[in-house]
Amino acid sequence: MGTLLELTNVHSYYGHIHALKGVSLHVNEGEIVTLIGSNGAGKSTTLRTISGMIHPKEGKVELAGENISNLDAHRIVTKGVGHVPEGRGIFPKLTVQENLDMGAYTVNDQKTIKDRMELVYQTFPRLKERVAQYGGTLSGGEQQMLAIGRGLMLNPRILMLDEPSMGLAPVLVDLIFDTIKKLNEQGTTILLVEQNALMALSIANRGYVLQTGSIVLTDDAAKLKKNEMVQKTYLGIE
Q: Which residues bind another protein (CB under 8 A)?
A: 51, 53, 72-74, 77-78, 83, 85, 87, 89-94, 98, 101-103, 105-106, 132, 136, 150, 154
User: Shortest distance, CB of residue 151 to another protein, whole angstroms?
Assistant: 9
Residues in the chain: 238
User: Shortest distance, CB of residue 156 to another protein, whole angstroms?
Assistant: 11
Strand order in the sheet with 189-193: 81-84, 158-162, 189-193, 32-36, 206-211, 214-220
User: Shortest distance, CB of residue 222 to another protein, whole angstroms?
Assistant: 32
Q: CB-wise, 147 or 183, nearer to another protein?
A: 147
User: Shortest distance, CB of residue 93 to another protein, whole angstroms?
Assistant: 4
CA separation for the pair 150, 82 (Å, rounded): 9
Q: CB-wise, 79 or 181, nearer to another protein?
A: 79
User: Shortest distance, CB of residue 83 to another protein, whole angstroms?
Assistant: 5
State which amino acid sits at residue 199. M
Q: Quick check: 86 and 44 in contact, CB under 8 A?
A: yes
Q: Quick check: 28 and 3 in contact, CB under 8 A?
A: yes
Q: CB-wise, 161 or 221, nearer to another protein?
A: 161
Q: CB-wise, 164 or 207, nearer to another protein?
A: 164
Q: CB-wise, 99 or 184, nearer to another protein?
A: 99
CA separation for the pair 10, 29 (Å, rounded): 21
Helix (H, G, I), strand (E, B) or coil at 96: helix
Q: CB-wise, 110 or 186, nearer to another protein?
A: 110
Q: Please report, for residues 76, 79, 155, 211, 229, the alpha-carbon distance to residue 71 in angstroms, rounded to integers and kept in the order given.
A: 6, 10, 20, 27, 37
SS (H, E, C) 150-197: HHHCCCCCEEEEECCCCCCCHHHHHHHHHHHHHHHHCCCEEEEECCCH
User: Shortest distance, CB of residue 102 to another protein, whole angstroms?
Assistant: 5
Q: Collect all residues with Cβ–Cβ distance below 8 Å to 133 and sequence separation of at least 6.
A: 95, 96
